[in-house]
Amino acid sequence: MKVRVVGCSHHNVPIDVRERLAFSPRQSQAALEELRRKSPKLEAVLISTCNRVELYMATENATALSRAEVAEFFARFHGLKPDEVFEQLYERTGAEAVRHLFAVAASLDSMVVGEPQILAQVKQAYQLATEQECVGPLTHAAFQAAVKVARRVATETSIHERRVSIPSVAVADFAQQIFERFDDKRTLLIGAGEMADETLRYLRDEGARDVTVVNRNAGRAEELAAKWRGRAVPWDRLGDVLTSADLVISTTGAERPVVSLDLFREIEPARYRWPLFVLDLAVPRDFDPAIGQRPGVYLYSIDDLRTACQQNRHQRDKELPAAIRIVQQEADRFMAELHHRATGPVIRQLKQGWQKPKEEELHRLLNKLPELDDRGRDEIRQSFDRLINKLLHPPLESLRRESRHGIPHALLDALAKLFQLKD
């Protein structure tokens, strides 16, 4: 049994790398389908968010993909060279991989520690993998345990208090450095997903009144605009509303920029160099980075929020040890269960294998002693049981002891050969 994760995150690569490796939901589905065809015994869950791209793998007997193989897979899928990708990826295996998954789900590995969105994203990734028939007993157990860890951290620590999401930090800690007030600003929101919804909530709390929502799905744009007393505009009018906006927050899941440099140049004369503040919270980015070089444009990506997020994290440092202890406790429990699962069949076969000769000898002996009463027969049975337990105790205790530190493959193989156990 093996558990492995290979990927990259905001800790080790910048946004211009992450966006090249990011998977949209449609791409994630295609990638999982390809993995299932090429490695039918491999369990796989692909998590792709603004902060990370990670492939979680688990196998009962087969070998999980190596870091080099995952790099080649990512590169081929996105039209990149494998050597461009390999150095950007980290790899964690066994207990380290499980702890990492638990920390990710509990939002201890996020840019904004304690953000609530990551758990939903982990669940969505797991659900998609389930639909693509890429989930098996190991990934099921691991991701169910990860959800449990996230809930424990949320209920047993205060790490989710105060501002804990990318939108909240973007609006309250970052945009306020540019604007003293929002009630007189024309705000444009591009996208209508969960992050867009949360961003509008914080904008309203800060006083924003003039809010326009643009989304490719007009129905979702209208629904979100109605919820927050804004107005929805058709997607083909993006250029028009961009011309009059003061503040733009973009959160789509598009695979390429929705605002290109050419589009911006078309509307630029009508803006008369009026200042435009853009928070591009999407990965891949929604705005061509070159737009940030145009006069009067202040374009910030999700990585530009790092300073504000670090300050946010300092406020939570006191709660981190308790949250990390929960992750460690649950990871230890999960690995113990995993190791027990690996050794369980051997233990059962050992016990069952000795039952038949015990019963045969017991039957033979009792047939030779017909004068024994029920009490005597019970005493003999108990003696046989105690003898079997004492004989089995040393190998089973060795197996249990070794399994605390990992799956004892060598010992399992030795016991299987010694006692002629089945595969």
Q: Which residues are catalytic?
A: 50
Beta bridge partners of 55: 6, 46
Please, are residues 178 and 276 in contact by the beta-carbon 8 Å criterion? no
Q: Beta strand pairing status for 297-301 and 43-48?
A: unpaired
The amino acid present at 371, given as its one-letter code, is E
Contact 94, 335 (CB under 8 A): yes
β 231-233/210-214 pair status: parallel
Structure tokens at 274: 């009026």
Amino acid at 366: L
Q: How far apart are CA 62 and CA 5, in angstroms?
A: 15
Contact 29, 44 (CB under 8 A): no
* Local structure of 278: helix, strand or coil: strand
Token pair for 281? 């919270």
Which residue type is seen at 398? S
Helices (H), 369-408: 374-403
Task: Concatenate the DSSP letters of all residues of 205-244 into one string.
Answer: HTT--EEEEE-SSHHHHHHHHHHTT-EEE-GGGHHHHHHH
Phi, psi of 254 (to 5 degrees): -65, 150
The 8 Å CB, 24+ separation contacts for 178-183 are: 178/277, 178/298, 179/246, 179/247, 179/277, 181/207, 182/206, 182/207, 182/208, 182/209, 182/247, 183/207, 183/208, 183/209
| Residue 84 token pair | 């461009």
Q: Which amino acid appears at position 170 of this protein?
A: A
Burial 51-85 (b: 16+ CB within 10 A, else e): bbbbbbbbbeeeebbebeebbbbbbeeeeeeeeeb
